[in-house]
Structure 1
Amino acid sequence: MPSDKKLCVAIVVGETSGDLLGSGLMAELKKRHHNIEFVGVGGSKMEAQGLSSMFPMERLSVIGITEVFGRIPELLKRRSKLIKDIIAIKPDVFIGIDAPDFNLTIELKLRRAGIKTIHYVSPSVWAWKQKRIFKIKEACDLVLALFPFETKIYKEHNIPVAFVGHPLADSIPLELDKNAIKAELGFSDSTPVVALMPGSRAGEVSRLAPIFLETALKIVDKYPSVQFVIPCANASRREQLESLLKGYKLPIRLLDGQSQKALGACDVVLIASGTATLEALLCVRPMVVAYKLTTLSFYLIKSLFKMPYVSIPNILAGRFVVPELLQHDATPEKLFNALVPLLDGNIKDQVENFKATHIELKQNASEKAAEAVLKLIATV
C-alpha cells in the first residue's frame, strides 16, 4: 500500500488498558504508513499518538451489571452518535478495542455500512456469553486475539482471527532487578515488600482497599519488618486512598501510577482481579487475587460465567495457579492465610508458570496488530 495515500483509522476504547493497546498500535501504524489520520475515542496515550478523541474515554468506563444501569441512556446516546459520525467520516477501517458490549454494535452497524471492522482483544466467549460469537461473526472482518488459546473458537466458526500476543509482554523485561528497584524506592534488599493493588476505579477501591488494609495489619503482626507499596492509578485514586489510610498506622508508600515499579519492588502482591494481574504475572510476582462487586452484579455474573476461575493467570494456565478469593471470601483473614505461604517462600509453582507464560505472550504484539490492520485495509 503506498505510504503517501492518506488513511483514516477510527478507533474506540473504553478504559486505560485499551488506551495502552491503542497507543501501541497507532505508533506501529505510523511507522508503516506516513500519511494517516486517527479519529474515535481514546485516552491520553492515544491522544499523544495523534488521536482526535470525540469525547472523554472515561465516559465509557463502567464495571459490573447493576452499575451500568444508570449510565445506559448516556452510553446509548454516545454510541448512536459515534456510529453516525464514523459513517460520515468513512474511515478505511474501524478498530474496536475491548469493550465488546459497546463496540460490537458499532462494528456491526459500520460493517453493514461498508466499513471494514476489527475487534482487538477477544471477548471472553470461551467463558461466558458464548452466543456472542455469532454477533462477532456478523460484525467483524477480523479479530485480534491477545492469548493463543482464544483462536480455536474463532477458527471453529470460520471467523478470521490472528494471535498477536500482548503488548505488556513486549514492554516488560523477562527479568526484573528487584533489588535495584527496591533501592530506587528507598527499600533495603532485605526488607520484605508487599504491593497492594485494589484496582483503578473508585468503586473497586472503595470495596477492596479497606479489606486490603485490614489484611496488611495482620501481615505486619506476623512480619514486623514488612513494607507496603500502593500504585495509585490517578490523582483521584490517590486522594481516595489517602483518605482511607488516615485510619491506619501502616508502613505504606503511595506511588503516582508506576504500577510496574511497585510490582518490580515487591516480593508478593495482593491484587484485584483484572488486567493488573497480567502485569503482575509478566513481572513474575507471586500473587493472591481478590474481588468484590455489588451483590446483585456478582450473582448475575456468576450465573453466566462458565469457568471455575476468573483471574487472567488461572485462565491462561487452565488451572488454579494463584489463589482467588472473591466476594464473601475476600476477607482479611482469608487473604492473610493465602498470602502467608507466599511470604514464607512457597512461590515456585507461580514463578515457573509466570515465566513460561511471559515467553509465550512476547510476540511483538503492536507490530503484528499493525501489519494485520494494513493487510485488511489492502484487501479489495
Structure 2
Amino acid sequence: MPNQPIRIGIVAGEASGDILAAGMLSHIRQAYPDAIIEGIAGPKMLEQGCKSLFDMEELSVMGLVEVLSRIRRLLHIRKTVLNHFLSNPPDVFIGVDAPDFNLPLEKKLKANGIKTVHYVSPTVWAWRENRIYGIAEATNLVLSVLPFEKRVYDKHGFPCQFVGHTMADDVPLEPDRNEAREHLGIPQEAEVVAVLPGSRGTELKMLLPPFLDTIRQLRKESPERVFVIPAANETRYKQIDEALRTSGIKEQVMLVLGQSRQAMIASNVVLLASGTATLEAMLCKRPMVVAYRLNWLTHQMMKKLYKAKFFALPNLLADREIVPELLQEDVSSEVMVPLLNKLLSGEQKQDIACFHSIHLQLKCHADKQAADSVLNLIHE
C-alpha cells in the first residue's frame, strides 16, 4: 500500500448496523489509526472517527410501502453519496445491511472499479433467492452473520465469509441478572418485563399501542410488576415518552435511554419487535414473545414472497419454533398477555439450552474477522 492513509466508505442504515460497523471499524483502526472513514454513520461509528454525510436516522425505514413514501429523499441521499465516492474513491466501500439502499450503490461503485463489501447478507434464504445474482454483481464479498447464509452463496459459487455476530462475543454466556438490576436500580426480588417496541419510527407506530395495552393489562393483574422500556435513541425516547403520557401509564413504566441489553438481562421475560433485538434477547438467555406488524399492503406482498417457516431469528437459527412469534392481528394484548403470563409463572418454558448452543455457534470474534476480511480485500 502507498504511504497515504487507506480510505473506507461505509453506510449503515439503522442501530443494529451501527453496532456491527463500529466493532469492525475499531479493529481496522488498530491496524490503520489514520484511516479515513466516511459515509453514513450512527453514533457508535462516529465514535470510531467516521465522518457522516447524512443522519443515519433518515435511512431507518422498514417496509415496501413505507420506503415508497420516502423514496425521493432516499434517492437524493443515495445519489449524493454515490457522487461523493466517485469523486473521492475509497479503497473499499462497505454497505452494512440496508440492502435496498446499499446494493444499488455498491453496484455502481463496483462498476467504477471500487471494491465493495456487503455486511449482513440480504435474506435470500427467505425470499427471492435469485437476488443472489444481483448481490454478486454488486459486491466483491458478502460478510454473513448467520451460519446457514453462507451455504446459499457456496451453492452458487459467490464469495461469502461467515464471521459470526459481534453481540455473541460481547454478551456473556451466563449473564448476571443481579448486576443488571443493580445497574438499573431495580429491586432484586421484582418480577420484571422488558418491552422493546423497535428502533424505527414505523415500528413504534405499529407496535407501541398494543405493547402499552399489554403493559396496562399485566400491571392491572399484578401491580408490583416492573416494566422497563429501553429507547433505542433520543428520537425514540421522545416518541415513547409522549405515548406513555397520552396513555396515562407513564408513572408505571421505567423508560431508559439505550441500555437495552441491561434491560433484557434484568428481566424475567421480554416482549419485543422482531429483528436483531430478538437475537440479543436470546444471547441474554431470556424467555421472549416476538411480535411484528407491517403495513397491510406490505404484508400482502410479503405473504406471496416470503418462503421461510419463521421470521423470528431464534426460530430461524434453531430451525424450529422455540419462541412464540406473532404477526399482524395476533399482535394484541388478548394474545400477548396470556403468553407472557405463562412464561412469568413458569407454566411454559423456553429452550434456554438451545439459546446457549446457538450463542456458541455465533461466538466467532466477528469484529476482527470482518475487519480482516475487509483489509485482505483491500490488499488483493
TM-score (norm 1): 0.95
**Structure 2 CA distance for aligned equivalents of residues 116 and 83 of structure 1:** 14
Confirm or deny: 8 A CA contact 2:282 2:355 kept in the other structure: yes
**Structure 2 CA distance for aligned equivalents of residues 109 and 202 of structure 1:** 30
**Structure 2 CA distance for aligned equivalents of residues 236 and 372 of structure 1:** 34
Deviation at 1:328, TM superposition (A): 0.7
**Structure 1 CA distance for aligned equivalents of residues 55 and 244 of structure 2:** 30
The residue number in structure 2 matching 1:336 is 337
The residue number in structure 2 matching 1:251 is 252
**Structure 2 CA distance for aligned equivalents of residues 220 and 288 of structure 1:** 17
Deviation at 1:5, TM superposition (A): 4.8
**Structure 2 CA distance for aligned equivalents of residues 202 and 183 of structure 1:** 30
Confirm or deny: 8 A CA contact 1:5 1:35 kept in the other structure: no
The residue number in structure 2 matching 1:157 is 156
**Structure 1 CA distance for aligned equivalents of residues 179 and 357 of structure 2:** 24
Q: Does 1:121 align with 2:150?
A: no
Deviation at 1:346, TM superposition (A): 4.8
The residue number in structure 1 matching 2:354 is 353
The residue number in structure 1 matching 2:281 is 280
Deviation at 1:244, TM superposition (A): 2.1
- Gaps of at least 5 residues in structure 1 are none
Confirm or deny: 8 A CA contact 2:109 2:115 kept in the other structure: yes
Q: Deviations over 1:44-82 (max 9, x none)?
A: 211221111122212222111111112112212221222
Q: Does 1:365 align with 2:366?
A: yes
Deviation at 1:196, TM superposition (A): 1.0
Deviation at 1:113, TM superposition (A): 0.8
The residue number in structure 2 matching 1:238 is 237
Deviation at 1:369, TM superposition (A): 0.5
Which structure 2 residues correspond to residues 182-261 of structure 1 after superposition, within 5 A? 182-246=181-245, 247-249=247-249, 251-261=252-262
Deviation at 1:224, TM superposition (A): 3.8
The secondary structure found in structure 2 opposite 1:118 is strand
The secondary structure found in structure 1 opposite 2:114 is coil
Alpha carbons of structure 1 residues 31 and 331: separation in structure 2 relative to 1, 3 Å: same
Deviation at 1:98, TM superposition (A): 0.5
Deviation at 1:348, TM superposition (A): 4.7
**Structure 2 CA distance for aligned equivalents of residues 207 and 371 of structure 1:** 39
**Structure 2 CA distance for aligned equivalents of residues 89 and 135 of structure 1:** 25
Q: Deviations over 1:160-182 (max 9, x none)?
A: 11110001111111111112222
Deviation at 1:290, TM superposition (A): 0.8
**Structure 1 CA distance for aligned equivalents of residues 199 and 100 of structure 2:** 20
**Structure 1 CA distance for aligned equivalents of residues 58 and 223 of structure 2:** 43
Q: Which amino acid aligns with 2:359?
A: H
**Structure 2 CA distance for aligned equivalents of residues 180 and 31 of structure 1:** 31
Alpha carbons of structure 1 residues 35 and 154: separation in structure 2 relative to 1, 3 Å: same
**Structure 1 CA distance for aligned equivalents of residues 34 and 242 of structure 2:** 48
The residue number in structure 2 matching 1:315 is 316
Deviation at 1:129, TM superposition (A): 2.4
The secondary structure found in structure 2 opposite 1:203 is helix
Confirm or deny: 8 A CA contact 1:286 1:347 kept in the other structure: no
- Gaps of at least 5 residues in structure 2 are none
Q: Which amino acid aligns with 1:99?
A: A
Q: Which amino acid aligns with 1:72?
A: I
The residue number in structure 1 matching 2:63 is 64
**Structure 1 CA distance for aligned equivalents of residues 370 and 175 of structure 2:** 26
The secondary structure found in structure 2 opposite 1:253 is strand
Confirm or deny: 8 A CA contact 1:231 1:257 kept in the other structure: yes
Q: Which amino acid aligns with 2:322?
A: V
The secondary structure found in structure 2 opposite 1:148 is coil
Q: What percentage of residue pairs aligned between the two structures are identical?
A: 46
The residue number in structure 1 matching 2:26 is 27
**Structure 2 CA distance for aligned equivalents of residues 320 and 147 of structure 1:** 17
CA RMSD in angstroms, aligned pairs only: 1.6
Confirm or deny: 8 A CA contact 2:61 2:202 kept in the other structure: no
Q: Which amino acid aligns with 2:248?
A: Y
Q: How many positions carry a matched residue from both structures?
A: 378
The secondary structure found in structure 2 opposite 1:143 is strand
The secondary structure found in structure 1 opposite 2:219 is helix
Deviation at 1:302, TM superposition (A): 2.0
Which structure 2 residues correspond to residues 35-74 of structure 1 after superposition, within 5 A? 35-74=34-73
Question: What stretches of structure 1 move > 4 A for 4+ residues in a row?
Answer: none
**Structure 1 CA distance for aligned equivalents of residues 46 and 71 of structure 2:** 26
TM-score (norm 2): 0.95
Higher alpha-carbon deviation: 136-145 or 179-188: 179-188
The residue number in structure 1 matching 2:131 is 132
Q: Which amino acid aligns with 1:373?
A: V
Deviation at 1:127, TM superposition (A): 0.3
**Structure 1 CA distance for aligned equivalents of residues 344 and 283 of structure 2:** 19
Q: Which amino acid aligns with 1:171?
A: D
The secondary structure found in structure 2 opposite 1:255 is strand
